[in-house]
Amino acid sequence: MAKIAFIGLGNMGGPMATNLVKAGHQVCVFDLSAQAVAQVVEQGASTKNSASECVKEAEFVISMLPAGKHVEAVYLAPDTGLINDITQGATVIDSSTIDAATSQKVAKALAEKGINFVDAPVSGGVGGALAGTLSFMVGGSDAEFNRVKPILENMGKNIFHAGEHGAGQIAKVCNNMLLSVLMVGTSEALQLGIANGLDPKVLSNIMSKSSGSNWTLDVYNPCPNVMDNVPSSNNYQGGFMVDLMAKDLGLAMDTAVNSQSSTPMGALARSLFAMHAAKGNGSKDFSSIFNLFNKEN
Amino acid sequence: MAKIAFIGLGNMGGPMATNLVKAGHQVCVFDLSAQAVAQVVEQGASTKNSASECVKEAEFVISMLPAGKHVEAVYLAPDTGLINDITQGATVIDSSTIDAATSQKVAKALAEKGINFVDAPVSGGVGGALAGTLSFMVGGSDAEFNRVKPILENMGKNIFHAGEHGAGQIAKVCNNMLLSVLMVGTSEALQLGIANGLDPKVLSNIMSKSSGSNWTLDVYNPCPNVMDNVPSSNNYQGGFMVDLMAKDLGLAMDTAVNSQSSTPMGALARSLFAMHAAKGNGSKDFSSIFNLFNKEN
Amino acid sequence: MAKIAFIGLGNMGGPMATNLVKAGHQVCVFDLSAQAVAQVVEQGASTKNSASECVKEAEFVISMLPAGKHVEAVYLAPDTGLINDITQGATVIDSSTIDAATSQKVAKALAEKGINFVDAPVSGGVGGALAGTLSFMVGGSDAEFNRVKPILENMGKNIFHAGEHGAGQIAKVCNNMLLSVLMVGTSEALQLGIANGLDPKVLSNIMSKSSGSNWTLDVYNPCPNVMDNVPSSNNYQGGFMVDLMAKDLGLAMDTAVNSQSSTPMGALARSLFAMHAAKGNGSKDFSSIFNLFNKEN
Amino acid sequence: MAKIAFIGLGNMGGPMATNLVKAGHQVCVFDLSAQAVAQVVEQGASTKNSASECVKEAEFVISMLPAGKHVEAVYLAPDTGLINDITQGATVIDSSTIDAATSQKVAKALAEKGINFVDAPVSGGVGGALAGTLSFMVGGSDAEFNRVKPILENMGKNIFHAGEHGAGQIAKVCNNMLLSVLMVGTSEALQLGIANGLDPKVLSNIMSKSSGSNWTLDVYNPCPNVMDNVPSSNNYQGGFMVDLMAKDLGLAMDTAVNSQSSTPMGALARSLFAMHAAKGNGSKDFSSIFNLFNKEN
């Protein structure tokens, strides 16, 4: 079993750390919220007064933070960065969804101190974090990937090696940009059918078995009451928030701008999700974009 | 076995009629091209001097024509329309992809003469027509659907009942609009990954097993050499032509305009496919839209 | 002075006919609404029991109707079409905004009877109709243009010769598609500035004097209280309704589909105006699209 | 007359510095390119061995640099940043087009040393720089604006006060995003007319005098041979490069993402210009986007 430090115990990080505890690892957790720490400690984790102390003896340091600036600050801040505390030969696993450039910057700085690094953003949401069925998209060398894989398997089901440092972030950004396009495209197509008299259950069934088949139509249908147990049938509660999709699409746009890539559909999706969020829907599930195409009475 | 008249023996109609012959039906075929007629007659069909003569004793009349104006003319033209020749109680199956309004107009006119009608556009392309594995999206009453289903099963695998007259066309239009969005979205996402150093095979595998999963990514990948036996790995030959996708997206826009529906992604797809066609790619497979996002040297 | 029949006395047609009366012409008006007829008769027009009777002695027949199907029916309906009543050598001026194909069809049918025709759709709205300051975009031969010009000058300020039959409709569609793009683009740009702390008056002034200058920014600003006497400063009342812009954009999409033209911005505008109309804003001025980009509290 | 240091003598900076010399100021110039320096020195400027030496006695320091990272480095780099050399009470004018956040960061750091700052990006291109007719969009306090205005008037015609620090950059970004939308929308509308048989000169004239009027149509028409003396009539040479528009649209997208603003048309324009650049058109004038909508033979 491994000695693991886990930094960042939000909606995702909390259950991920808990799954590591359950798998038998020695896990030292840290978060600015004492309550978040207490919940995981209750499950058998230890804690210390600071992240610095947590990482000192760790073989693996896992972080789950909101944005690139937090990741850079936590690891590289002059004087207080964990780079000063992590032992040589240890491996950092950053599961935050951030820009690839920051991942690469952190990777490079850590490498100069003999510390390994992978970016390993996840998909699967809070449900996947709780169930230990997340997908991890890993950026790092083959050796680094092989070292982290067994650890990640305690928290997820699909562990993908996307490429070198930063490639995990790129894969995540590409996937989520595509996901947003699938969701908007599916919503439009269903609404076009409804406006022309079709039953959305019938139309969903036809398209799912035809070339319109896609994840959002087949297993996460945005039209209420076509499927059970999806957010659209629960007033768009739970699932993956509009605000988080908007954040990921912001990263996608950064990536597209920096690589001078043309992404008309992804860019349109970002503007539509931003519009939807601005109308007070930021904390609903992202499938609620379906309502943007509703006709009001 | 049934007596069937088959009008319109193009790339799709020819093999469809041939499959009916093979299933043991008595098939009388007609097309303006003597060569097209000869090919199906060689397989065992009969022919007559005109469509009018073909339909006179038929229990089923199947048509496969390019556009709504042809369908309307063939059935309803004053004096020459087949409405004057088809026997009461017979059933017309129009498998052309046309606007729903024309389908409904023809259905109504035929009904007044005691002739049944279904709109039954197909998906699956020339390959599906040859293999007898087409999908049919059928618009008509339950009775009409039940009557045509056994006939359609000789030409296809999935026979969907979409709803009343015109619903088959609407379902087709919704599916193909969604398909176009999937293809563009997938192309953008793959190109964004490639521009940022990812291997398209690796990225395709990751997204196919994640929430980016969709028909175009999973079974019809637009990036050359990710999959075997798809048009992208064969210089975009074969498959479903850009010009045909542009035509279907034109029908989708008509449908959206007439029902005052908002379809921003579908509309964007139409403009991108029109742009791609205008640059000389109209007869390539529609997955060649991938190249719109290429960087040239 | 000319003998003129005027068919269609809606919000636009009524004041247009009145201006012809004021200019001294003998105007016989017809509309299905007796009230609409009465209003223009009060100004000095005559009327008859039917459109047929009105046109019998007219040198010019002017029509202002809602859609292509009405225009085709009024002129070409078997038995009842005005084509049977208009005298040889007379000139039809159709000022309806409709598809060019219908204009061309009517022009051709009338020509076979020796009747002249121009399509002459207008811009300038109800205000321009009342003030006699409309713009007319005329499709027809040079001779036809020269014949109608003096008549149109009694109702409008700018009389443009766009080209042959149908060209007036095409010019109108192109202009209004562009207008919709200007309005959305201006709204986005102003809202982006506001969201980043700029005063919309200051930003409007800067852009109007720079390369962002355009009609919607300079004389029809969509941001409330930047300008006086525009709909945005009057709760988006009056002006050019969202529903009418959506109708014109529908014509633009038909035109683009039929000519296989790529119009990504125009298509996006249509979907955004359709979305805006579907949320209950159809009868507001089209500059209210500005609110689509608002942030709600 | 003022003592001015001018850093960055590219296509824009060179002629701007020259105009200051001509106006009688004492100008000390610096650039990494000795040749660029020599050209301005020939006009009467002085130079020194480093930027640091140039700024030491300057009342005004003007910079014209490619991107935010250069501006930050030039002024704030530890040890080597000009912040260490500029005298208290002097005023920095940064005319680079960069992100507002960097402008604000530099402004704040300089303020702590008692140095004034305005961001003052320009529009008007190389032609405007040569002719001294640039527009400046200035961000800073009223006092700062009043101090720099007379200096800027030696290089430009319109000097706008956009707001506080960073507001100049925001105004520039909003204007250029809108400009890109005008150019694409105008190109689409003209091409739609051409595809339907209209003469682009006639259509341009009609729309310019109607509600389609905008800067790109009226004074910078993208269709070859509609106007003289514009890039489209000179094989799209000269003017404002596609690559520069793409850069500005990248800044616009950053701004939109950071303020969670919805900018569907601006985002679409960015993707279209990126696509156009990727096909080898990066160094053409941005009106060449017109060709994206051409039909090839």
CB proximity list for D90: less than 8 A, separation 6 or greater: D55, D58, D59, D60, D61, D115, D116
Neighbouring chains of B at 3+ CB pairs under 8 Å are A, C, D
Q: d(Cα C140, Cα C100) in Å, to the nearest integer?
A: 12
Residue C124: predicted pLDDT: 86
| CATH number for the domain harbouring residue C230 | 1.10.1040.10
**Chain C within 8 Å of B278 (Cβ-Cβ)?**
yes
Q: How confident is the model at residue B125 (pLDDT cuts 50, 70, 90)?
A: confident
Q: d(Cα D222, Cα D194) in Å, to the nearest integer?
A: 13
Q: What percent of chain B has pLDDT over 70?
A: 100
Identify whether residues B158 and B178 lie together within a single domain: no
- Tally of CB atoms within 10 A around C150: 11
Quick check: B296 and D280 CB within 8 A? yes
> CA of D189 to nearest chain C CA: how many angstroms apart?
5
Identify whether residues C157 and C178 lie together within a single domain: no
Q: d(Cα D174, Cα C97) in Å, to the nearest integer?
A: 34
Structure-block tokens of residue B131: 């293999």
Query: Average pLDDT, whole number, for chain A?
Result: 96
Report the first-to-last Cα separation within chain D, whole angstroms. Answer: 60
Identify whether residues D109 and D223 lie together within a single domain: no
Q: Collect all residues of chain A within an 8 Å Cβ-Cβ radius of residue B198.
A: 162-163, 167, 170-171, 174
Q: d(Cα B29, Cα B19) in Å, to the nearest integer?
A: 13
Residue A238: predicted pLDDT: 85
Structure-block tokens of residue B93: 């199956």
Quick check: B179 and A209 CB within 8 A? no
Quick check: B267 and C253 CB within 8 A? yes
Identify whether residues B198 and B264 lie together within a single domain: yes
Quick check: B267 and C272 CB within 8 A? no
Interface test with C, best of B262, B268, B272, B275 (most C CBs within 10 A): B262
Question: Looking at chain C, which residue has its C-alpha nearest residue B251?
Answer: C257
**Chain D within 8 Å of B268 (Cβ-Cβ)?**
yes
User: Tokens 């004389």 sit at which residue?
Assistant: C219
Q: d(Cα A256, Cα B138) in Å, to the nearest integer?
A: 42
Q: Return residues 176-195 of B near A (CB < 8 Å).
A: 176-179, 181-182, 184-186, 188-193, 195
Interface test with B, best of D184, D242, D296 (most B CBs within 10 A): D296
Q: Which of D278, D294, D295 sits opposite B295 (nearest CB)?
A: D278
**Selection from D175, D176, D178, D184 nearest residue D289 by Cα:** D184
Identify whether residues A114 and A256 lie together within a single domain: no
> CA of C280 to nearest chain B CA: how many angstroms apart?
13
Q: Which of B144, B165, B186 is the last residue of a domain?
A: B165
Interface test with C, best of D122, D182, D258 (most C CBs within 10 A): D182
Q: Collect all residues of chain C within an 8 Å Cβ-Cβ radius of residue B261.
A: 274
Given a contact cutoff of 8 angstroms between Cβ atoms, the answer to whether B16 and B63 are in contact is: no
Q: What angle do CA B101, B104, B107 make, to 5 degrees?
A: 150
| CATH number for the domain harbouring residue B81 | 3.40.50.720
> CA of A227 to nearest chain D CA: how many angstroms apart?
31
Name the 3-class secondary structure at B6.
Answer: strand
Name the 3-class secondary structure at C64.
Answer: coil
Q: Collect all residues of chain B within an 8 Å Cβ-Cβ radius of residue D296.
A: 278-280
Q: How does pLDDT run across A227-260, given as a tens digit for each residue?
A: 999 999 999 998 899 999 999 999 999 999 999 9
Q: d(Cα B11, Cα A232) in Å, to the nearest integer?
A: 42
Q: How does pLDDT run across C149-193, given as a tens digit for each residue?
A: 999 999 999 999 999 999 999 999 999 999 999 999 999 999 999
Kindly name the residue from C3, C22, C157, C172 that is annotated as catalytic.
Answer: C172
Q: Which of C246, C254, C268 sits opposite B267 (nearest CB)?
A: C268
> CA of A155 to nearest chain D CA: how many angstroms apart?
31
Q: Which of A112, A145, A164 is the last residue of a domain?
A: A164
Report ipTM (2 d.p.).
0.95
Q: How does pLDDT run across D253-272, given as a tens digit for each residue?
A: 999 999 999 999 999 999 99
Residue D82: predicted pLDDT: 97
Q: How does pLDDT run across B54-99, given as a tens digit for each residue?
A: 999 999 999 999 999 999 999 999 989 999 999 999 999 999 999 9
Quick check: D272 and A264 CB within 8 A? yes
Q: d(Cα D75, Cα D90) in Å, to the nearest integer?
A: 13
Q: Collect all residues of chain D within an 8 Å Cβ-Cβ radius of residue C206.
A: 135, 137, 160, 162, 171, 175
Q: Which of A264, A275, A294 sits opposite C292 (nearest CB)?
A: A275
Number of structural domains chain D divides into = 2
Q: Can B172 be counted among the known catalytic residues?
A: yes
The kind and range of the H/E element at A91 are strand A91-94
Kindly name the residue from D48, D172, D279, D295 that is annotated as catalytic.
Answer: D172
Q: What mean pLDDT do residues B239-265 have?
A: 96
Quick check: C293 and A280 CB within 8 A? no
Given a contact cutoff of 8 angstroms between Cβ atoms, the answer to whether A115 and A83 are in contact is: yes
**Chain D within 8 Å of C274 (Cβ-Cβ)?**
no
Q: Which of A126, A145, A164 is the last residue of a domain?
A: A164
**Chain B within 8 Å of C283 (Cβ-Cβ)?**
no
Residue D297: predicted pLDDT: 57
**Chain C within 8 Å of B252 (Cβ-Cβ)?**
no
Residue C296: predicted pLDDT: 81
Q: d(Cα B94, Cα B87) in Å, to the nearest integer?
A: 16
Residue C126: predicted pLDDT: 87
**Chain B within 8 Å of D294 (Cβ-Cβ)?**
yes
**Chain D within 8 Å of A267 (Cβ-Cβ)?**
yes
- Ordered DSSP codes for chain D: --EEEEE--STTHHHHHHHHHHTT-EEEEE-S-HHHHHHHHHTT-EE-SSHHHHHTT-SEEEE--SSHHHHHHHHHSTTTSGGGTSPTT-EEEE-S---HHHHHHHHHHHHTTT-EEEE--EESHHHHHHHT-EEEEEES-HHHHHHHHHHHTTTEEEEEEEESTTHHHHHHHHHHHHHHHHHHHHHHHHHHHHHTT--HHHHHHHHHTTTT-BHHHHHS--STTSSSSSGGGGTT-SSSBHHHHHHHHHHHHHHHHHTT---HHHHHHHHHHHHHIIIIITTSBGGGGGGGGPPP-
Tell me, letter by letter, the H, E, C secondary structure of D25-83.
CEEEEECCCHHHHHHHHHCCCEECCCHHHHHCCCCEEEECCCCHHHHHHHHHCCCCCHH
| The pairing of beta strand D91-94 with beta strand D60-63 | parallel
Structure-block tokens of residue C46: 């005559």
User: Tokens 């040239």 sit at which residue?
Assistant: B296
Range of the domain at D192: 170-293
> CA of B105 to nearest chain C CA: how many angstroms apart?
16
CA D18: distance to chain centroid?
A: 17
Structure-block tokens of residue A63: 């972080």
Residue C297: predicted pLDDT: 57
Q: d(Cα B41, Cα B44) in Å, to the nearest integer?
A: 5
Residue B297 has pLDDT above 60, yes or no: no
Q: What are phi and psi of C8, to 5 degrees?
A: 105, 100
Which burial class, exposed, middle or buried, applies to A162 when counting CB atoms under 10 A from its CB (0-12, 13-18, 19+)? buried
Q: How confident is the model at residue A124 (pLDDT cuts 50, 70, 90)?
A: confident
Q: What angle do CA D118, D124, D127 make, to 5 degrees?
A: 125
User: Tokens 């600015």 sit at which residue?
Assistant: A32
Q: d(Cα B154, Cα C138) in Å, to the nearest integer?
A: 55
- Ordered DSSP codes for C178-216: HHHHHHHHHHHHHHHHHHTT--HHHHHHHHHTTTT-BHH
Q: What mean pLDDT do residues A61-86 have?
A: 95
Query: Average pLDDT, whole number, for chain D?
Result: 96
Q: What angle do CA C36, C40, C46 make, to 5 degrees?
A: 110
> CA of A131 to nearest chain C CA: how many angstroms apart?
36
Identify whether residues C235 and C219 lie together within a single domain: yes
| The pairing of beta strand D134-139 with beta strand D122-123 | antiparallel
Residue D8: predicted pLDDT: 97
**Selection from D104, D89, D23 nearest residue D55 by Cα:** D89
Identify whether residues C147 and C208 lie together within a single domain: no
Q: What are phi and psi of B29, to 5 degrees?
A: -110, 150
Given a contact cutoff of 8 angstroms between Cβ atoms, the answer to whether A203 and B171 are in contact is: yes
**Chain B within 8 Å of D292 (Cβ-Cβ)?**
yes
Identify whether residues A143 and A289 lie together within a single domain: no
Chain A to chain D Cβ contacts (< 8 Å): 58
Quick check: A195 and B161 CB within 8 A? no
**Chain D within 8 Å of B292 (Cβ-Cβ)?**
yes
Identify whether residues D45 and D157 lie together within a single domain: yes
Beta bridge partners of B61: B5, B92
Q: Which of D260, D261, D268 sits opposite A267 (nearest CB)?
A: D268
**Chain A within 8 Å of D155 (Cβ-Cβ)?**
no
Quick check: B262 and C246 CB within 8 A? no
Neighbouring chains of D at 3+ CB pairs under 8 Å are A, B, C
Structure-block tokens of residue B170: 């609407």
Q: Which of B246, B257, B275 sits opposite C253 (nearest CB)?
A: B257
| The pairing of beta strand A156-163 with beta strand C3-7 | unpaired
Residue B291 has pLDDT above 90, yes or no: yes
Identify whether residues D11 and D75 lie together within a single domain: yes
> CA of D222 to nearest chain A CA: how many angstroms apart?
22
Task: Enter the DSSP assignment of B137.
Answer: E
Neighbouring chains of A at 3+ CB pairs under 8 Å are B, C, D
Identify whether residues D229 and D128 lie together within a single domain: no
Identify whether residues B143 and B205 lie together within a single domain: no
Q: How does pLDDT run across A51-65, given as a tens digit for each residue?
A: 999 999 999 999 999
The list of chain C residues with pLDDT below 70 reads 297
CA C289: distance to chain centroid?
A: 20
Kindly name the residue from A69, A108, A172, A284 that is annotated as catalytic.
Answer: A172
Q: What mean pLDDT do residues A57-85 have?
A: 96
> CA of D211 to nearest chain C CA: how many angstroms apart?
6
Q: d(Cα A274, Cα A180) in Å, to the nearest integer?
A: 12
Beta bridge partners of C61: C5, C92
Q: d(Cα D249, Cα C217) in Å, to the nearest integer?
A: 20
